[in-house]
């Protein structure tokens, strides 16, 4: 299991996760979950879609040591031939981007007439 | 209602018995498929002597280099290789940009194809074809309908909202099962079905261009490559009540192998298809074909006509089709003529 470790500033302000497809006209919808460091479930942080890609994760204090899992769907439009897609996950703090990544688990590839699932895990830790 | 349909079908069956020429659906299929009224999905393959059986769909231009190995072996072209790709896909931008920009939509929809084929198993020559298909306008493109995309996303959003807390670290493959269940939900299926029903015959304009060369003995050397043909296609799809009208034109320039060989073929035609009811479909088409040769006296032209009506008759085990059409007589086929045909078959032949 891949977990991207993201270091934040304890005094840097609120954190935001942005999930989008900026380079290809694809539609993504999904959810962000938060877990405690022992992987027990903590909270559903919010849902995202094309016109509302940002999820507010809260302050550094409440997120220190927490784990996050993003689950999403790239919606199919019956493309023939299949079309490329690339999901980008940005984690930012007070507007400053801390991490930009294409999820390695289903975050890029081809989509035809079947929806595609993707997943991305990360942790937040204070400096 | 079904009783009337049955009676109508049996009546037509009896009426056409005397003059009909075939009880085999192959004849009707041939009449319907003889002329292609759209732009080929892959213009490159249309110009090859045989269409590739398997096409690799590439996602990015970086994949091309890996795919080239399928085409060349020891400096010689291999037969039967094919790929297609959306070459400008990454220039299309985000979905929001796509919905606003006509250029973005054209770039995204364009598909480049490349393929190879031999004329026969015994021939060592390999043909290589390349082509580009450009759907310039496509009102049936679901992405371009912001309301539809928004409603579809809202349905998935609701499904995610109802999703119970999964264990941490669930993989995409594991999550795929949930996503597949979302897709089966009534809300999502209804949105997709309603869209397809409303826009299947919406206006569209496609253009295609392709060219092919013959590589003598498969060698990829300048002195072994010979021009074979160039093709141009254009087609308009227009909505009509309960149906679709397609108007198309295509031309192919051909490197003639003999003085009497064909150098140019032009086809202009139109086809209307009607889906009157779930049990009744009809298709009417007409095309004019001109075949030009090096020797002018060998030039020829002919008409293609097809009128097909098919009825679903459960008691007969499927569909009853009645067709009139074929090609008019011409120099290279003096015996051909329009004829009546009928057949009973399992699956409908007229499809939207």
Check residue B12 and give its pLDDT: 54
Mean pLDDT value across residues A33-45 = 97
B182 phi, psi to nearest 5 deg: -55, -50
| Residue B212 · residue B47 · CB < 8 Å | yes
Q: Please state whether the peptide bond connecting residue A81 to the residue before it is cis, i.e. omega within 30 degrees of 0.
A: yes
Phi and psi torsions of B16, nearest 5°: -90, -5
SS3 of residue A24 by DSSP:
coil
Please give, rounded to a whole number of angstroms, the shortest distance from the CA of B254 to a CA of chain A. Answer: 28
End-to-end CA distance of chain B, in Å? 24
Taking an 8 Å cut-off on Cβ atoms, the answer to whether A50 and B149 are in contact is yes
- What is the CATH classification number for the domain harbouring A74? 2.60.40
| DSSP three-state, residue B6 | helix
A56 bridge partner residues: A16
**pLDDT on residue B112:** 95
* Interface predicted TM-score (ipTM): 0.95
Q: Which domain holds residue A47?
A: 4-126
Considering CB atoms only, which of B104, B152, B160 is closest to A47? Answer: B160
- Burial class, B347, CB count within 10 angstroms (exposed 0-12 / middle 13-18 / buried 19+): exposed
Q: Which residues of A fall within a CB distance of 8 Å from B180?
A: 114-115
The beta-carbon neighbor of B166 closest among A22, A51, A71 is A71
Residue A30 has pLDDT above 90, yes or no: yes
Query: What is this structure's pTM?
Result: 0.88
**pLDDT band, very low/low/confident/very high, at A93 (cuts 50, 70, 90):** very high
From chain A, the residues in CB contact with B167 under 8 A are 39
User: Which tokens hold the place of B127?
Assistant: 């043909």
Which residues of A, range 77-116, sit inside 8 Å of B by Cβ? 77-78, 80-84, 103, 105-106, 109-110, 112, 114-116
What is the Cα gyration radius of chain A? 15
Question: Could you read off the pLDDT tens digit of each residue along chain B, which spans 352 residues?
Answer: 445 555 555 555 555 544 444 467 898 999 999 999 999 999 999 999 988 888 999 987 778 877 888 888 888 888 899 999 999 999 999 999 999 999 999 999 999 999 999 988 788 899 999 999 999 999 999 999 999 999 999 999 999 999 999 999 999 999 999 999 999 999 999 999 999 999 999 999 999 999 999 998 888 888 888 899 999 999 999 999 999 999 999 999 999 877 788 999 999 999 999 999 999 999 999 999 999 998 889 999 999 999 999 999 988 789 999 999 999 999 989 988 899 999 999 999 998 8
Residue located via tokens 């096409």: B55
Do A25 and B59 lie within an 8 Å CB cutoff? no
Q: Does A53 touch chain B (CB under 8 A)?
A: no
B56-58/B82-85 β-pairing? parallel
What pLDDT does B5 receive? 52
Nearest-Cα distance to chain A for B174, in Å, is 9
- List, in sequence order, the alpha helices (H) in chain B: 2-17, 25-33, 43-46, 62-68, 95-100, 102-109, 146-161, 172-183, 186-199
Domain count, chain A: 1
How do residues A66-80 score in pLDDT, each as one tens digit? Answer: 999 999 999 999 999
The pLDDT of A16-27, averaged and rounded, is 97
pLDDT at B24: 72
Residues of B in contact with A73 (CB under 8 A): 156, 179, 182
Helix (H, G, I), strand (E, B) or coil at B76: strand
Tokens 């084929």 sit on residue? B117
pLDDT value of position B22: 47
Distance from CA of A48 to the nearest CA of B (A): 8
Strand partners, B35: none
């Amino acid at each position: 299991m891949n977990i991207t470790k993201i270091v934040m500033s304890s005094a840097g302000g609120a954190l935001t996760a942005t999930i989008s497809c900026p380079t290809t006209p694809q539609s993504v919808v999904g959810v962000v979950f938060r877990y405690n460091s022992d992987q027990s479930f903590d909270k559903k942080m919010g849902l995202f879609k094309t016109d509302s890609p940002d999820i507010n994760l809260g302050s550094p204090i409440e997120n220190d040591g927490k784990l996050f899992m993003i689950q999403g769907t790239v919606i199919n439009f019956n493309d023939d031939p299949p079309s490329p897609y690339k999901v980008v996950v940005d984690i930012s703090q007070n507007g400053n981007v801390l991490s930009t990544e294409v999820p390695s688990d289903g975050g890029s590839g081809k989509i035809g007439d079947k929806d595609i699932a993707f997943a991305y895990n990360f942790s937040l830790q204070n400096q | 209602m079904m009783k009337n349909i049955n009676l109508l079908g049996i009546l037509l069956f009896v009426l056409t018995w005397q003059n009909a020429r075939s009880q085999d659906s192959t004849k009707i299929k041939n009449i319907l498929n003889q002329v292609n009224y759209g732009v080929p999905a892959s213009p490159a393959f249309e110009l090859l002597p045989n269409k590739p059986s398997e096409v690799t769909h590439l996602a990015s231009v970086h994949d091309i280099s890996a795919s080239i190995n399928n085409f060349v072996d020891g400096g010689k072209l291999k037969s039967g290789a094919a790929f297609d790709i959306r070459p400008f896909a990454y220039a299309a931008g985000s979905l929001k940009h796509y919905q606003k920009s006509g250029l973005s939509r054209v770039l995204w929809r364009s598909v480049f194809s490349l393929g190879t084929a031999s004329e026969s198993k015994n021939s060592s020559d390999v043909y290589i074809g390349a082509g580009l298909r450009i759907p310039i306008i496509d009102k049936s493109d679901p992405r371009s309908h912001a309301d539809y995309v928004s409603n579809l996303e809202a349905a998935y959003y609701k499904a995610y909202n109802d999703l119970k807390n999964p264990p941490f670290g669930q993989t995409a493959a594991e999550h795929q099962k949930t996503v597949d269940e979302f897709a089966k939900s009534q809300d999502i299926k209804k949105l997709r079905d309603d869209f397809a029903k409303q826009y299947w015959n919406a206006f569209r304009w496609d253009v295609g261009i392709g060219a092919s060369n013959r590589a003598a003995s498969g060698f990829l050397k300048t002195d072994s490559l010979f021009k074979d043909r160039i093709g141009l296609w254009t087609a308009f799809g227009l909505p009509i009540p309960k149906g679709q009208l397609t108007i198309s034109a295509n031309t192919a320039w051909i490197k003639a192998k003999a003085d009497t060989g064909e150098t140019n073929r032009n086809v202009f035609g139109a086809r209307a298809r009607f889906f009157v009811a779930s049990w009744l479909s009809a298709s009417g088409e007409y095309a004019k074909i001109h075949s030009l040769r090096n020797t002018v006296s060998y030039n020829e032209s002919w008409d293609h006509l097809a009128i097909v009506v098919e009825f679903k008759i459960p008691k007969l085990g499927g569909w009853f089709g009645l067709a009139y059409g074929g090609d008019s007589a011409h120099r290279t086929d003096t015996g051909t003529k329009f004829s009546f045909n009928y057949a009973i078959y399992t699956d409908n032949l007229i499809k939207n």
